[in-house]
Amino acid sequence: MSRLSKKSPSLCTDLPLDNADICKKLDLLRQLLRSCFGPTGRLKQVHNNIGGHVVTTSTSSVLLPAISSSQPFINLIKTSILNHVSRFSDCGLFAAILCLSLIEQAKQSGLRGNVAIRVNKHLLGLCTSYLQGEDCGCKVKLDFCSSQSLITLARSVISSKPTCVLTEPETLHISRLAVQAFLLTVPCSSPGIVSLGKIVTVSVEGHGVLNSTVFPGVLLDMPDVFTIDKVENLPSDALRMVLFSASLAGDLSELGDGIIEVHPGVDTDSQILDQLLELGKQVVKDEVKLFVCQKVIHPVLQQYLRGHGIIVIERLGITLMEPLTQLTGAQPVATLHTTIPAKAYGRVRDLRIRTFGSKTMLHLHPPGECAICTMILCHRNETMLSELKVVCQKTEHVLRLTLREPSALLGGGCTETHLAAYIRHKSMNEIPETVSALGCSQTECLLGVEGFCRSLEAVAAALEHDGGSSLMDLTHAHHWSHPADVLTEHMGDSLGSCGCGLVESSPNQKWTYLNSKYPQFSPAPLSEDASVQPRVLDSFTAKLNALQVAVETANLALDVRYLIQDVN
């Protein structure tokens, strides 16, 4: 071995999971991510060695790309989690902590890699079928008749990102806005395939969060304020508008690669400008009131159009093109020599100038029903604002996921403890079948189950950061946390209610500390009480995928027997 690997440029490591250095790094990563988890998670400041921008965050999607490791093992886990986050926008830390706990537990149990993998895969199957089943005790159906559960879902996402530094009323305000914006993007009356609209986000720095708001329609930047007076004089019903996707600056880009020789006496520029002005004349004749171009407009043409009372907006950018075509029904024009067909024109119902801090914006109302809306986000400083923007986009995504699967899981760690109790109970009852199906011994199987359940419970326990202890009740198997500084005779007095808020503490309830031995039991379903609403809800789709991703990643990591690092 030594002779060849000394010569080969790739670095090799045999059985990497037995390597102390790699284990240390994995443990460090687990502690780092664990400390960020949940509403009381600790923030991390990321700054690079060349004195760049300092980022404060606790979100996995920002934090994980910042962690660069030369260790491929870390990178393997990192990319898995980041891929999950980019698809589902939620539960990234959950997946990461669960995955790292599973690896650690499997190592501690001393099981052969293959056995641990098989047991994990089997238990994952149990989990997913239970979660997808009708009688799942930790799932709630989302009620679209009221916005309450949607707001709770949005609030859970937003409050789990402490970097936004939101007070309680601010959190609620942003949650409401997020739900309102989401509902605006769902078209009311469209038969057949429903295509969701779009939320355009505009961020305004230096204002209080409570000034944030949502408008239907699109808001466009208006750098030239001197046209305001004229706008206010405009009639507010159905204005005609035109949208250009080609540059109107007078350049000729589509002629080809050949050479053009211009002889003296020929003024190409004025020829092109004349052509542009022809276009302007047609637009004026067709009574267009709003002239928008994705790219640059020649100043002379701008002047001409403004002179005829037309509002001109240039350099719109590609991102706003699609919302604007949807909103106005205009078809982007790119031909300069042919007359603009009537159907290419779009319509706007109302134009209004709105100002937010330093920003002056033109508000375009849709002529009819339209699923485009604009969200104005305000916050006190740039760091919080950028995090708030990320959070709102994530919330929108999470809310969209509910359209496919209108369910949510109980938050606050209750789903994890409940699932762990269910798995313990279920696998104990089926142990002979499991053992024969997996081809391992009963001891191995029990060890594997214990490791899996402990990992789930470790995720619930990770929500606690202030030295308190995590508990689980022995009836519904929900998660409770007990503050460190409160000392009472009876535990039930200081507990209040469980993590998700569905279970109130009562004197005859029994608790056990997480990660301690307890007799396995079947977690009881909750009584159907409509008056009690869960306080914390997690996205069902995102969490289910996160669970699968975590277990599959852990299994991949456990399956690695050899490491080859190409160092070229």
Q: Which of residues 85-114 bind another protein (CB under 8 A)?
A: 86-88, 112-114
Binding segment for another protein (CB under 8 A), chosen from 14-22, 156-164, 359-367, 534-542, is: 14-22
Interatomic CA distance for residues 135 and 133, integer angstroms: 6
Interaction residues for another protein, span 422-481 (CB under 8 A): 439
Residue 248 or 391: the one with the smaller Cβ distance to another protein is: 248
Interatomic CA distance for residues 218 and 86, integer angstroms: 26
Phi, psi (deg, nearest 5) at residue 169: -65, -35
Residue 339 in contact with another protein, rule: CB under 8 A = no
Q: Which of 147, 211, 331, 393 binds another protein (CB under 8 A)?
A: 331
Q: Which of 134, 168, 229, 254 binds another protein (CB under 8 A)?
A: 254
Return the SS3 of 214: strand
| Residue 79: C-alpha distances to residues 19, 64, 102, 393, 563 (Å) | 21, 9, 17, 21, 17
Return the SS3 of 366: coil
Contact 501, 412 (CB under 8 A): yes
Shortest distance, position 90 Cβ to another protein, whole Å: 13
Shortest distance, position 283 Cβ to another protein, whole Å: 15
Interatomic CA distance for residues 316 and 332, integer angstroms: 12
Q: Which of 135, 232, 261, 528 binds another protein (CB under 8 A)?
A: 261
Q: Which of 133, 169, 341, 525 binds another protein (CB under 8 A)?
A: 341
Residue 172 in contact with another protein, rule: CB under 8 A = no
Interatomic CA distance for residues 400 and 386, integer angstroms: 21
Binding segment for another protein (CB under 8 A), chosen from 226-234, 269-277, 346-354, 387-395, is: 269-277
Shortest distance, position 335 Cβ to another protein, whole Å: 5
Interaction residues for another protein, span 45-74 (CB under 8 A): 72-73
Name every residue whose Cβ is closer than 8 Å to that of residue 443 and which is 6 or more positions away in sequence. none
Residue 196 in contact with another protein, rule: CB under 8 A = no
Among residues 556, 559, 555, 567, which one has the least CA distance to residue 12? 567
Q: How many residues interact with another protein (rule CB under 8 A)? A: 87
| Residue 127: C-alpha distances to residues 399, 424, 499 (Å) | 23, 11, 20
Q: Which of 51, 52, 256, 368 binds another protein (CB under 8 A)?
A: 256
Query: How many residues are given for the chain?
Result: 568
Contact 532, 514 (CB under 8 A): no
Q: Which of 45, 236, 303, 335 binds another protein (CB under 8 A)?
A: 335
**Tokens standing for residue 539:** 């996205």
Interaction residues for another protein, span 307-326 (CB under 8 A): 322, 325-326
Phi, psi (deg, nearest 5) at residue 372: -105, 130
Shortest distance, position 449 Cβ to another protein, whole Å: 17
Residue 169 or 341: the one with the smaller Cβ distance to another protein is: 341
Shortest distance, position 235 Cβ to another protein, whole Å: 28
Shortest distance, position 6 Cβ to another protein, whole Å: 10
Phi, psi (deg, nearest 5) at residue 360: -110, 125
Shortest distance, position 58 Cβ to another protein, whole Å: 21
Residue 295 or 482: the one with the smaller Cβ distance to another protein is: 295
Per-residue x/- marks for another protein, 142-161, CB under 8 A?
A: --------------------
Q: Which of 57, 59, 61, 80 binds another protein (CB under 8 A)?
A: 80
**Tokens standing for residue 211:** 């000034």
Residue 561 in contact with another protein, rule: CB under 8 A = yes
Phi, psi (deg, nearest 5) at residue 5: -70, -20
Residue 338 in contact with another protein, rule: CB under 8 A = yes
Residue 227 in contact with another protein, rule: CB under 8 A = no
Per-residue x/- marks for another protein, 524-553, CB under 8 A?
A: ---------------------x--xx--xx
Residue 180 or 294: the one with the smaller Cβ distance to another protein is: 294
Binding segment for another protein (CB under 8 A), chosen from 220-228, 258-266, 397-405, 500-508, is: 258-266
Residue 344 in contact with another protein, rule: CB under 8 A = yes
Q: Which of 302, 415, 539, 555 binds another protein (CB under 8 A)?
A: 555
Ramachandran class of 283: left when φ > 0, alpha when ψ lies in -120 to 50, beta otherwise: alpha
Binding segment for another protein (CB under 8 A), chosen from 26-34, 254-262, 355-363, 373-381, is: 254-262
Interatomic CA distance for residues 91 and 405, integer angstroms: 16
Where do the H-state alpha helices sit in 35-163?
Answer: 60-66, 72-88, 92-109, 113-132, 148-159
Shortest distance, position 395 Cβ to another protein, whole Å: 19
Shortest distance, position 275 Cβ to another protein, whole Å: 5
Please report, as a single letter, which amino acid is at residue 173: H
Contact 283, 291 (CB under 8 A): yes
Q: Which residue has the tokens 């999607």?
A: 61
Q: In what order do the strands lie in the sheet with 372-379?
A: 198-205, 372-379, 213-216
Among residues 175, 165, 152, 149, which one has the least CA distance to residue 57? 165
Where do the H-state alpha helices sit in 329-441?
Answer: 382-404, 414-429, 431-438
Binding segment for another protein (CB under 8 A), chosen from 28-36, 332-340, 392-400, 520-528, is: 332-340
Residue 1 in contact with another protein, rule: CB under 8 A = yes
Residue 167 in contact with another protein, rule: CB under 8 A = no
Residue 272 in contact with another protein, rule: CB under 8 A = yes
Residue 84 in contact with another protein, rule: CB under 8 A = yes
Reported as type and span, the H/E element at residue 55 is strand 55-57
Name every residue whose Cβ is closer than 8 Å to that of residue 129 and which is 6 or more positions away in sequence. none
Shortest distance, position 246 Cβ to another protein, whole Å: 5
